[in-house]
Amino acid sequence: MQQVLAELPDLLAVAVVDVSSGASLAAHTTTPEFDPATAAAYNAEVVKHKLKALTALQLASETIEDILITLTSQLHLLRLTGNGGRFIYLVVDSSTTNLGIARAVLRAQVERLEPAT
């Protein structure tokens, strides 16, 4: 998490989330109004529903790399691990953060979570 804070100093929240349970395994927020654990649980449901949609659309060979949700003033990014068991959830201010940089930081963090093969 410290790496994310160093690379995205304007971030609002970040969490590592278990997809199956929706539990936040680690979390940090810079604003007391934002509860990353609650958001993590709801976003785990988003991931589960998207996985069901892939199956329904017969896209079983596809994998979700990331999900982007744009709000009026925030970007919410979810990046899944290779096995799909966890994801990192990142919230940034859209007026001060470059989406490309946020995605690159998120990708690097997921690679750190992945076990070495």
**In CATH, which of 1.25.40.320, 3.30.450.30, 3.40.50.720, 3.30.1700.10 is domain 2-113?**
3.30.450.30
For the chain, percent of residues with pLDDT exceeding 70: 97
Q: What is the pLDDT of residues 67-117, one digit of tens each?
A: 999 999 999 999 999 888 999 999 999 999 999 999 999 999 898 887 654
Could you give the C-alpha distances from 60 to 40, 49, 55, 116, in angstroms and in order?
A: 24, 14, 5, 25
Cα–Cα distance, 25 to 6 (Å, whole number): 20
Confidence of residue 3 (pLDDT cuts 50, 70, 90): confident
Domain ranges within the chain, ordered by starting residue: 2-113
User: What is the pLDDT at residue 114?
Assistant: 74
